[in-house]
Structure 1
Amino acid sequence: MTDRLITHLRHVDLAVPDFDAQLAFYTDTWGLRTEHTDSGLAFLAAEGSPEQYAVRLRRAADKRIDLLAFGVATRADVDVIAERLGADGVRLITEPGPLHTPGGGYGFRFFDNEGRTVEVSADVAVRKHRTIEEGESIPVRLSHVVINSADPEATRAFYEKHLGFALSDTLLHPHLGKMMWFMRVNAWHHSVAIARGPHPSLHHASFEMRGIDEYLRGTGRVLRAGVEKIWGPGRHTAGNNTFSYFLDPSGNTMEYTTELELIDEDTWHPHLYDFTQPEIADQWGIANQMNEFVAQRSFNDPDKGLYLAPPV
């Protein structure tokens, strides 16, 4: 295994032009909680997570991923990663130092190979959280983020080389080749996945529910609220997790999931799955068919924030 200092995914930060509608969606419908607010900013936490927030919304003229944030164990690890990135010619946005976001901490930001802003941090204060009770259909935590890449092989190589990600599984199309790579930084099957797409953008963000019952209750609640469902409910083969995909008001795809696979990293061997086989996309066989419509929605709009660091 590569020398890995990243321990987990912290949060995904989104810039949105329809801030008020997005805030209402994520709190009133999706089940996140507003923990902190600032001028044009909202920090939204998952009730079951010790992370200060799972999603940050920022009011902006353009829709974009503001940043992906990952945790490490110590300040020394932050410094080591920053030093290694700098030595390899990766463009740093900030040098390691105090963070001025909820929970504080110590970290820095840099651009990945396609210009997304990435943050690495340590010593962020633990949020007071609670156990999600039986029947509560709200997210426990941010499970994973999937990004679209115009050069997914290079993006995979970047995250493996610089952040110590490991490949768990790959999805293959018999005529189009390899299409999605599931990447991990701990025993969860994936914290990030990289999808082949026409441009860099957010493919989807996924939120872990307490269990199957809570996942289905949540899916039903969002459906009753009139939110457009893209795909699901079903259960993937890669990761063995359930899925229900919806569109937020900005057209970003959001997923409810549960039972993401925990693997033995010492014995795991990546699979190559042909996702045109029905049981690969959905073991249960009850989800709507994966087709061009579903795929096109997942491509999302081109990210307008590449090599442009967010103002906060």
Structure 2
Amino acid sequence: MIRYQKFGRVELNVTDLARSRRYYEDIVGLQFVEQGPEGEVLLRCDHDHHNVVLHAAASAGLRVAGFGLEDESQFEPLRERLRAAGLDAREIPPALCARHRQQRALRVFEPRVGAVIEFYLPLADTARPFRPGVARIQRLGHVVFNTPRAAEAIAFWRDVLNFRVSDAVGEMVTFLRVWPNPWHHGIGIASAPEYSLHHVNYMVSEIDDIGRALARLRKAQSPVVFGPGRHPASESVFLYFLDPDGLTMEYSFGMEAFPERFAREPRQLPLAPEWLDAWGSERDPRCFTGAAPNAPLEAAMEGA
């Protein structure tokens, strides 16, 4: 059974690289690491060398979502599962892994969510401790995909990739753990007419980070599109906002944690406002709408 560490990397296409770098440093609170050889901007929010990569592009959207494997022994069973599912998993060359501070990595285009997925073994950046900025971010929390093939995607991530379903809210969204990582979800699969990024989440240290973010976002005239509120499914206090390209980002605090063994059974929750937000806030229609379609594998392999 495939075992993972976490959801640990996301690469985004952005239309104005300088503007987005300022936003993700000054408003979101990520730490700048370096600029890559193709001009890409590397940022971090935990002890890894980097967690977020921004690429200049004509249109904004998701480029890659990356999941850290538990150890080297996970790669071959994973590759065999992907091959049996008819997917072409491509190894990242060792020189590029070294540049990314990874021991090993492979990428695959997963057609059910319409996105490039990376599986990797990270190297901690012990020489330079992460220092939180305007928000005391602890880690990347999760990524949610919009897809018209939600039922197929849920089955694939559960049965092939060995993620574990925590809960579903109607037919709208299903939450899965990056097993045996304890957090309620490391991915979400949302039913939608088109493939795109639903949102990216950052887990913060305490509820005050949510309150300070609300004031900071308003001062910066960055749209807050949902919350603050509380998701009954995961128990998280949340705040959703839009980056300069209209991509939805989220802060959350207080997510339910599962034990590796004897976890509770997943729940099928009703699609009702009170199961989306126990506090009753209204959602802006711009929330979760994504942007351009997710990048294909060839684009994501360029300069990987």
TM above 0.5, yes or no, is yes
- Letter matched to residue 267 of structure 1: A
What is the correspondence of 1:1-312 to structure 2 with a 5 Å cutoff? 3-38=1-36, 39-46=38-45, 49-94=46-91, 97=94, 99-114=97-112, 115-127=114-126, 128-130=128-130, 137-172=135-170, 178-185=171-178, 186-265=181-260, 266-278=262-274, 280-285=275-280, 287=281, 289-290=282-283, 293-294=284-285, 296-310=286-300, 311-312=302-303
Summarize deviations over 1:131-155 as a string: whole Å, max 9, x none: 769xx63322111111111111111
> SS at 1:117's partner residue?
strand
- Letter matched to residue 103 of structure 1: R
Structure 1's 123 and 31: CA in aligned 2 closer, same or farther, altered over 3 A? closer
Identity %: 28
| Separation (CA, whole Å) in 1 of partners of 2:11 and 2:68 | 15
| Separation (CA, whole Å) in 2 of partners of 1:221 and 1:95 | 39
> SS at 1:76's partner residue?
helix
| Separation (CA, whole Å) in 1 of partners of 2:92 and 2:160 | 16
| Separation (CA, whole Å) in 2 of partners of 1:8 and 1:100 | 20
| Separation (CA, whole Å) in 1 of partners of 2:52 and 2:77 | 27
| Separation (CA, whole Å) in 1 of partners of 2:103 and 2:65 | 16
The number of residue pairs the alignment matches comes to 295
Structure 1's 140 and 95: CA in aligned 2 closer, same or farther, altered over 3 A? closer
| Separation (CA, whole Å) in 2 of partners of 1:100 and 1:130 | 20
- Letter matched to residue 68 of structure 1: A
| Separation (CA, whole Å) in 2 of partners of 1:283 and 1:201 | 27
| Separation (CA, whole Å) in 1 of partners of 2:187 and 2:99 | 23
Structure 1's 102 and 55: CA in aligned 2 closer, same or farther, altered over 3 A? same
Q: When the two structures are superposed, what TM-score results if normalisation uses the length of structure 1? A: 0.87
Structure 1's 95 and 29: CA in aligned 2 closer, same or farther, altered over 3 A? closer
Structure 1's 130 and 248: CA in aligned 2 closer, same or farther, altered over 3 A? closer
> SS at 1:84's partner residue?
helix
| Separation (CA, whole Å) in 1 of partners of 2:148 and 2:224 | 26
| Separation (CA, whole Å) in 2 of partners of 1:82 and 1:97 | 17
- Letter matched to residue 306 of structure 1: P
| Separation (CA, whole Å) in 1 of partners of 2:125 and 2:79 | 23
Q: When the two structures are superposed, what TM-score results if normalisation uses the length of structure 2? A: 0.90
CA contact (8 A) 2:20 2:244 kept: yes
- Letter matched to residue 151 of structure 1: R
Runs of 4+ in 1 over 6 A off after TM superposition: none
| Separation (CA, whole Å) in 2 of partners of 1:7 and 1:211 | 23
Equivalent residue, structure 2, for 1:175:
none
- Letter matched to residue 155 of structure 2: A
| Separation (CA, whole Å) in 2 of partners of 1:190 and 1:28 | 27
| Separation (CA, whole Å) in 2 of partners of 1:187 and 1:123 | 19
| Structure 2 spans left out of the alignment, 5+ residues | none
User: RMSD of the alignment, in Å?
Assistant: 2.1
